[in-house]
Amino acid sequence: MILLGVTGSISAYKACDIVSTLKKETEINVIMTKSATKFVTPLTFQVLSNNKVYTDTFDEHIPSQINHIELGKKAKLFIIAPASANTIAKIANGLADDMLSSTALALPKHVKKLIAPSMNMEMFLNSITKKNLKSLEEQGYKIIQPQKKLLACGDFGIGALAEVEDILDEIKSVYK
């Protein structure tokens, strides 16, 4: 099973294509941050994945199951696409205050991890973000580098989410 985290970024809509493509080959579950739900609704991902979408750490329907633990146990691959600077910082620094960051910190060591940043150029190039990405690499995450192009804010530079095809290629290279 692939576990996809979606964070608050204008490029969240591209995660729909990721889910739609992956669903043809494997089971996929989606975790969304509260900010992500401002860009794309959980219902969209529910329909595309044919699975419940997780947005709240405390929304537990089965009393004997803790979702942020169980999802990690079932996953073979964990990917966050798009990954905001906020979520990158949370995970890199061990902050678990939502469903996505709690699940990321509870992942078993054998789960393969990918992260695809998407943000404004200045945010991406900020030394703090660079430090956080380096920390994630040290924790076993493979970084899918963003593109250099015209960004949603109107600036031209690095920070746009990698092309969906490139993300899917990375997923296929590690998910066997």
Pick the closest to residue 85 from 50, 127, 52, 140 (CA basis).
127
Return d(Cα 124, Cα 173) in angstroms, integer. 25
Cis before residue 82, ω within 30 degrees of 0?
Answer: yes
The catalytically annotated residue of 93, 153, 155, 156 is 153
User: Is there a catalytic annotation at residue 153?
Assistant: yes
**Tokens 């949603």 identify what position?**
152
Q: Which two tokens stand for residue 45?
A: 């991902």
**Helix H or strand E segment including 81:** strand 77-83
Catalytically active residues, by annotation: 153
